Amino acid sequence: MVVLTPVLASAEDTFDIVLERLQFKESQHFHYQETRHLALLTQPWVATGELFITPEGMIIAQQSPTSILTKITENKLKYFDDERDVRRSIHLKRPFDVPGMAPFLQMLFRDKQQSSPEEHYNISFSLEQERWLLVLSPRLADRNKIKAMTLSGSQGKGPDFLNLEYTDGDQTEWKLSLLTHGHDVANILQKALDKINEEDDFED
Amino acid sequence: MRIRRLSGNRSHPDGKQKSPEAVWFIFVTACLVVLAIWTTELRTNIGDFFFPGDNTDSGFLAGQIQSEEFSRRYLISINHTGIADTTATKFTGKLILQLGKVNGVKRVWRAQFDDDDMGRLLDSYQGQQIHLFSLTPEKDFSALFRPEGLATQARTVKKALLGPDPMRTKSILEHDPMLLTLNWFKKIDRQFNHPNITAGYTSFFLETESSGLNTNAQSAIQKNLQKIFTQVNADFNQAFSIDYTGVPAFAVKIRNQSIKDVSRISTLSMAAVVVLSLLVFRSWRALLCTALMLAATVAVAVLITQLIFDHIHGLTMALGTTLVGVCIDYFIHSMVHAGNKTGKQRKQAIRKIWPTLITGGVTTVIGYIALSISGFPGLQQVAVFTGSGIITALILSRFVLPGLMELLNVAIMPAINLKSFLKIATNCGLRYGVLVMIVVTAIIGIPKINWGNDLNLMTPEIEKLKAKDIAIRSRMTSLQPGRFILIEGSTTEQALKTSESLLPVLNKLQAQGNLQTFYPPYPWLASQQLQSRNQQAWDAGLTPDILQSWEAELTNTGLNTAALPPIKNNSAPILDLDRVRDSPAWLLISRQFMLLPDKTTIAIWLGKHDPESIRSALANIPNSRYYSQKESIEQLTMAYRNKAQFMLILGILAIFVILLIRYRSFTSALRALLPAAFALLILLGIWGLSGSPMGMLHLIGLLLTAAVCVDYGIFFIENKSDNTTLTFQAITVSALTTSVAFACLGAAENPALHALAWTVAPGVLAGFLLCPLVLRKNNQGQGGYLNK
């Protein structure tokens, strides 16, 4: 079921416009701040870094508190923790079914999905104080135990805030600031990957 | 040699005195043929044919091939070189989905576990993190419970929570508050992330409901596999290609080739024998008579082999068709001697040559008995098949043939004029010239014999299939195919203990750079002894002080102790093999276990390694050894060849002893052997000069040649009819039919049969041509050729 809040003015964002805007069109380069609120931690945990959205998927280059690189493609998640010398490769059974990030990635790469997000999530759309807001909640019990995902951004712009709420009450927030988009992103990303590839076979 | 006009069939005065036994014989033959066709189970299992059960190394291979679970699996490889990863994933996903729906397919799974599989794996090992913690639990738990150990573990918990899958971490923490599962997972992680896996290929497994050796079912599945692949590939512009391997693929290929060979050889040899018989006898009645005798002989041979072995191998049938060529000798020899006689005279004529036939038959059977004790399992069947056929043929020749000839009104006389040949052959100059030439050829050629490894020839197309198998497997793993460490134990527990004792040795080799990687059963499974030690070390270490220190470390790390379950004594049951077999892990490790009621064999797969270092490291560890499939097969081949050489000599000696007993004369026994001996010499000499590799199969061919040629020597020197020309006519027809039957093996696709064809066919021809050349008339004894 898609619940649509009435659109107040024709110039304002609508569900369809936002959905269209979310879908990948060109590479984007963000600065991000991730905050995890976990019951098992005495303090919220904060990480910052750069996030790239490319035609193949997403690359998260965490810079603090430690350097960690995560590469997500349609069928694989590769995780490289420089400090702990941990390398993980997870084969994804469904496209972009990354624990925690699945709804966001599936909306970004809708054309690579076998089904639309509406089939798996109840989606509500609203406009509040010059910002659009999308809330997705799984129709069925989610394997990744996500209760709801909230995505929002300024009117006429892409997303700058993502909040994942888990069934056990834990939450993860992402704050995104767009740095560049278009062709420049590929060069920046390539430099970042080249630096990593000198030391490791991170790339396929 | 010149063929003259035949005398054809004749009616005779006793023609109306039909033998009731002969009528019964025809009826019984029909029943036997029907029974043989009805009850015969034709198998093409390569393991049955090649690997003796008395050798553990080959037994492991045979066991792997015969293992129900293993034999039902295909390894399928999709080539998507140059195609986008995402497109390849879509294609493979669709193909796997479609293949999973095929009738007879039990399951299809990827060579690499996906996230869901990993979840199921972790679920199935829940609670085992303490039992499988370490190979040296006392030391490692002690280290864990030290302040720095606890601090490290607390940091591990936090990092995992902040890693790529916090939800899974939280789920594990509910049962494993110290997250020891991660220690276990790190050890098995390399199983999922093999280095050097070829890019551009995706591999997955397909398991069928029916046995891999059920070639009818597997053939249907392979057709469906190809059909579905083509359909799915059509949606992707035929961009992908497929390869598959596994026991079912081998079995179907070999079955198809065996069936093709059996039908081709039997049709061809039957046709050749029919044409030859008609040419020589120009009598349909004689042909019918021979055909009935052969049908009865083959049916009895099939039934006896089936009775003893419960099945007949395809290669036995292919080799067994030469039985036609061997047994027909006795019928033809009898028919020629009795062909122009009737009634009692006919019976007397056959009775007269019966001792000669018996001697010939016994010497031939001895050749086949020697084959059966050569140690090659498949040849035991061939020996039983042909041996029982020869005995049947001898009995039929003596007791049924006269009546049958009477019933069918057969009267024949081979129209081959051999007088001129016999005259030339007995010319002393020619005789000595030929003999000197043979001896010189043998002296020059035999030292040049190129002994080759021809065991691989026994499996048609097996080399190509093996190469493909290695290529496909190398795309998904860095394992060295066909090389591993074998560990034996009277129980699984014992084998596991030995494998655990090996691990420090292998770790050392790895550190020295002599072993890239290795895949033992631990930590998928550990011996009960090791699990108990882990349990005890854990329980002993959980003192109140430690519990307090752990809580302090959690707090220091920023973890909320109130939200984490407390650590406590482990109450989970010890992991046993049955539980592992029920877990997704079994898909990965089942091939490493061969479980028999009285023995368990475990294989430790190896990555790139230095064989000598591994061998010497294992030298002092009982019940373990380095195994190389290639070397093992080479050793097996050499052992077979040595045994075949020994059997060839032993067989000829045994034949000589029989002749000695029969003739009570050393010279006569030797003379009966001479044509066969010279035939072997010339074959060996020519083979050596040609430079072609000669192996076990050629030796077997030589043994058969000797066994058959000795018959001709016996027939010739005994000359029971006191008519050298008639005897030689009979031998000529026999030798021609035998040669033709063996030469037909050359039409097979299986190159193993070529080796026999091109040894026995020319050998038999040489043996019969040498009879008048080698054997001189001495006017002393019966028939003029025997020394009394």
Categorize the per-residue pLDDT at B133 as very low, low, confident or very high, splitting at 50, 70 and 90: very high
For residues B777 and B772, what is the distance between their CA atoms, to the nearest angstrom? 9
Sequence-separated (6 or more) residues with CB below 8 Å from residue B628: B482, B483, B611
Bridge partners, B244 (sequence order): B76
Which value, in Å, is the radius of gyration of the alpha carbons in chain B? 35
Pair B497, B522: CB distance under 8 Å: no
Categorize the per-residue pLDDT at B44 as very low, low, confident or very high, splitting at 50, 70 and 90: low
For residues B630 and B121, what is the distance between their CA atoms, to the nearest angstrom? 35
Average of per-residue pLDDT across B656-682 = 86
Task: Express as a percent the part of chain A with pLDDT over 70.
Answer: 83
Residue B345, pLDDT > 70, answer: yes
Categorize the per-residue pLDDT at B60 as very low, low, confident or very high, splitting at 50, 70 and 90: low
Q: Is A147 on the interface with B (CB under 8 A)?
A: no
Number of Cβ within a 10 Å radius of residue A82:
15
Predicted local confidence at residue B478, as pLDDT = 56
Residue B14, pLDDT > 70, answer: no
DSSP state of B114: B
Q: Is A90 on the interface with B (CB under 8 A)?
A: yes
DSSP state of B410: -
Bridge partners, B610 (sequence order): none
Predicted local confidence at residue B4, as pLDDT = 37
Predicted local confidence at residue B176, as pLDDT = 92
**A-chain residue closest to B84, CA distance:** A56
Please identify which residue in the block is written with the tokens 């959205």: A53
Q: Is B89 on the interface with A (CB under 8 A)?
A: yes
Bridge partners, A110 (sequence order): none
For residues B224 and B237, what is the distance between their CA atoms, to the nearest angstrom? 20
Which among B628, B612, B642, B626 has a CA at the least distance from the CA of B453?
Answer: B642
B60 compared with A167, residue with greater pLDDT: A167
For residue B267, CA distances in Å to A179, B118, B757, B765 come to 80, 56, 16, 22
Q: Is A173 on the interface with B (CB under 8 A)?
A: no
Q: Is A141 on the interface with B (CB under 8 A)?
A: no
Q: Is A160 on the interface with B (CB under 8 A)?
A: no
Q: Is B566 on the interface with A (CB under 8 A)?
A: no
Task: Tell me the pairing of strands A146-154 and A161-166.
Answer: antiparallel
Contacts of B167 in chain A (CB under 8 A): 99-100, 144-145, 166
Outline where B601-693 has alpha helix (H).
Answer: 611-618, 629-663, 666-690
Average of per-residue pLDDT across B247-254 = 77
Contact B164/A170, CB-based, under 8 Å? no
Predicted local confidence at residue B392, as pLDDT = 92
**Alpha carbon B349 to chain centroid, angstroms:** 46
Closest Cβ–Cβ partner in A41, A47, A93 for B161? A41
For residues A73 and A80, what is the distance between their CA atoms, to the nearest angstrom? 15
For residues B208 and B221, what is the distance between their CA atoms, to the nearest angstrom? 8
For residues B496 and B576, what is the distance between their CA atoms, to the nearest angstrom? 11
Categorize the per-residue pLDDT at B62 as very low, low, confident or very high, splitting at 50, 70 and 90: low
Which among B337, B417, B281 has a CA at the least distance from the CA of B4?
Answer: B417
Residue from B85, B94, B155, B167 to probe the interface with A (highest A Cβ count within 10 Å): B167
Pair A196, A69: CB distance under 8 Å: yes
Predicted local confidence at residue B259, as pLDDT = 74
Average of per-residue pLDDT across B228-233 = 93
Contact B114/A144, CB-based, under 8 Å? no
**A-chain residue closest to B168, CA distance:** A144
Task: Tell me the pairing of strands B2-3 and B416-417.
Answer: antiparallel
Convert the pLDDT of each residue in A97-113 to its tens digit. 887 788 888 888 877 76
DSSP reduced 3-state for B602 = strand
Predicted local confidence at residue B667, as pLDDT = 84
Pair A125, A5: CB distance under 8 Å: yes
Contact A45/B110, CB-based, under 8 Å? no
Task: Express as a percent the part of chain B with pLDDT over 70.
Answer: 81
What are the backbone dihedrals phi and psi of residue B513, each rounded to the nearest 5 degrees, phi first?
85, 10
**Alpha carbon B252 to chain centroid, angstroms:** 14
**B-chain residue closest to A146, CA distance:** B167
Contacts of A112 in chain B (CB under 8 A): 86
Number of Cβ within a 10 Å radius of residue A140:
7
Predicted local confidence at residue B454, as pLDDT = 52
Closest Cβ–Cβ partner in A45, A89, A166 for B167? A166
B459 compared with B159, residue with greater pLDDT: B159
Categorize the per-residue pLDDT at A5 as very low, low, confident or very high, splitting at 50, 70 and 90: very low
Predicted local confidence at residue A46, as pLDDT = 95
Q: Is B504 on the interface with A (CB under 8 A)?
A: no
Pair B514, B613: CB distance under 8 Å: yes
Predicted local confidence at residue B140, as pLDDT = 94
Which among B143, B234, B232, B217 has a CA at the least distance from the CA of B180?
Answer: B143
**B-chain residue closest to A89, CA distance:** B193
Predicted local confidence at residue B10, as pLDDT = 42
Average of per-residue pLDDT across A110-136 = 83
Pair B341, B349: CB distance under 8 Å: yes
Predicted local confidence at residue B56, as pLDDT = 45
For residues A127 and A129, what is the distance between their CA atoms, to the nearest angstrom? 7
Q: Is B193 on the interface with A (CB under 8 A)?
A: yes
For residues B80 and B253, what is the distance between their CA atoms, to the nearest angstrom? 25
Residue A198, pLDDT > 50, answer: no
Average of per-residue pLDDT across B655-684 = 87
Which among A6, A75, A86, A70 has a CA at the least distance from the CA of A34?
Answer: A70
Residue B696, pLDDT > 90, answer: no
Buried-state track B351-364, b at ≥16 Cβ within 10 A, e below 16: eebbebbbbbbbbb
Average of per-residue pLDDT across A88-100 = 78
Burial of B676 (0-12, 13-18, 19+ CB in 10 A): buried
Contacts of A36 in chain B (CB under 8 A): 161-162, 166
Buried-state track A84-106, b at ≥16 Cβ within 10 A, e below 16: eebbbebbbebbbbbbbbbbbbb
At B130, list the tokens: 């303490």
Convert the pLDDT of each residue in B532-560 to its tens digit. 999 999 999 999 999 999 999 999 999 99
DSSP state of B131: T
Which among B70, B78, B422 has a CA at the least distance from the CA of B249?
Answer: B70
Q: Is A168 on the interface with B (CB under 8 A)?
A: yes
For residues B725 and B340, what is the distance between their CA atoms, to the nearest angstrom? 14
For residues B191 and B22, what is the distance between their CA atoms, to the nearest angstrom? 70
Average of per-residue pLDDT across B354-362 = 85
Give chain A's mean pLDDT. 81
Residue B664, pLDDT > 60, answer: yes
Which own/partner pairs from B589-593 qualify as long-range (CB within 8 Å, at least 24 positions apart)? Answer: B589/B521, B589/B524, B589/B525, B590/B69, B590/B70, B591/B64, B591/B70, B592/B519, B592/B521, B593/B492, B593/B521
Closest Cβ–Cβ partner in B86, B164, B564 for A88? B164
For residues B654 and B703, what is the distance between their CA atoms, to the nearest angstrom? 12
Categorize the per-residue pLDDT at A161 as very low, low, confident or very high, splitting at 50, 70 and 90: very high
Predicted local confidence at residue A151, as pLDDT = 92
For residues B673 and B651, what is the distance between their CA atoms, to the nearest angstrom? 12
H or E stretch at B222:
helix B215-234
- Return residues 102-121 of A near B (CB < 8 Å): 112
Residues B107, B109, B114, B116, Cα dihedral to 10° = 0
Categorize the per-residue pLDDT at A63 as very low, low, confident or very high, splitting at 50, 70 and 90: confident
Contacts of B112 in chain A (CB under 8 A): 91
What are the backbone dihedrals phi and psi of residue B412, each rounded to the nearest 5 degrees, phi first?
-135, 160
Residue B275, pLDDT > 50, answer: yes
Task: State the smallest CA–CA distance between residue A74 and chain B in angstroms.
Answer: 6
**B-chain residue closest to A46, CA distance:** B162
Convert the pLDDT of each residue in B581-615 to its tens digit. 988 888 778 878 888 888 888 888 887 888 889 98
For residues A76 and A55, what is the distance between their CA atoms, to the nearest angstrom? 14
* Sheet with B73-79, edge to edge strand ranges: B105-110, B201-208, B73-79, B241-245
Categorize the per-residue pLDDT at B757 as very low, low, confident or very high, splitting at 50, 70 and 90: confident
Predicted local confidence at residue A41, as pLDDT = 93
Give chain B's mean pLDDT. 80
Which value, in Å, is the radius of gyration of the alpha carbons in chain A? 17
Please identify which residue in the block is written with the tokens 């890019």: B199
Contacts of A75 in chain B (CB under 8 A): 85-86, 89
Query: What DSSP line would sit under B697-747, residue for residue?
Result: HHHHHHHHHHHHHHHHHHHHHH-TTS-HHHHHHHHHHHHHHHHHHHHGGGG
B359 compared with B49, residue with greater pLDDT: B359
Residue B509, pLDDT > 90, answer: yes
Categorize the per-residue pLDDT at B349 as very low, low, confident or very high, splitting at 50, 70 and 90: confident
Please identify which residue in the block is written with the tokens 């020295």: B512
Predicted local confidence at residue B190, as pLDDT = 63
Residue from B162, B197, B556 to probe the interface with A (highest A Cβ count within 10 Å): B162
How many Cβ pairs closer than 8 A exist between chain A and B? 88
Average of per-residue pLDDT across B661-683 = 87
Average of per-residue pLDDT across B359-375 = 78
Predicted local confidence at residue B182, as pLDDT = 86
DSSP reduced 3-state for A30 = strand
Between the ranges A165-174, B407-416, B422-431, where is the mean pLDDT highest? A165-174
ipTM of the complex: 0.83
Task: Tell me the longest C-alpha to C-alpha distance in chain B.
Answer: 120
